[in-house]
Homo-oligomer: A and B are copies of this chain.
């Protein structure tokens, strides 16, 4: 009845949960949702099936958690924070592109934008996923709009035009990332960064 002291098992629910989310996020990005089986996750996390299902009763719930707790923050870190805190929109966008490109060179492979990867694979068939994905996109778009609307030197834009511009920036990035992923080289992203920068400059959105 007494607790075994020699046992090797150390209960650490929060840590385990975090580990599961980490490896899941990585595998989902690398192989996609459907190509990643629960067994893959179990092996990669070195956790038992029971523990995994204890924390995430279904695969879907896990993916949802990955979306909100890992991919969301990733987008925040990679895009939202730079854009929000940079001295201007142009600098923020440049910084976002720059660190993502640096990451690709570091890893030596292009895994694509985790949000886009899941979005393309899951958005169509499941409402919950779509809502969850849309939330991240919305937040992303919002901060862009915020900064666009706050630019002093720029042309005054209606709110529809602001949204269009924000979508444009996101589109260029994610489209270029797709191209980069398909071709496994960073150039489309590098080029896109430059062209977006000049596009912003021409519209005085970078000051």
Which A residues contact B (CB, under 8 angstroms)? 30-32, 34-35, 111-112, 116-117, 119-121, 123-125, 130, 133-134, 137, 163-165, 167-168, 170-176, 178-179, 181-184, 187-188, 191-192, 194-195, 199, 202
Number of this chain's copies in the assembly equals 4
Instruction: Return chain B residues, CB-CB under 8 Å to A188.
Output: 167, 171
Interchain CB contact under 8 A, A32 and B121: yes
User: Chain B residue with minimal CB distance to A202?
Assistant: B202
**CB neighbours of A30 from chain B (8 A):** 124
Compute how far the CA of A16 lies from the CA of B26 in the bound complex, rounded to whole angstroms: 37
CB distance B171 to A175 under 8 Å?
Answer: yes
Name A31's closest neighbour in chain B (CB-CB).
B125
Say whether, besides A31-B125, A124-B31, A179 and B172 are in contact (CB < 8 Å): no
Contact between chains at A164 and B120 (CB < 8 Å)? no
CB distance from A124 to the nearest CB of B (A): 7
Task: Decide: A192 near B171, CB < 8 A? Known: A34-B35, A111-B124, A124-B112.
Answer: yes
Chain B residues closer than 8 Å to A125, beta-carbon distance = 31-32, 35
Min CB–CB distance A63 → chain B (angstroms) = 13
Contact of A175 among B34, B123, B170, B183 (CB under 8 A): B170
Quick one: closest B residue to A163, CB to CB?
B191
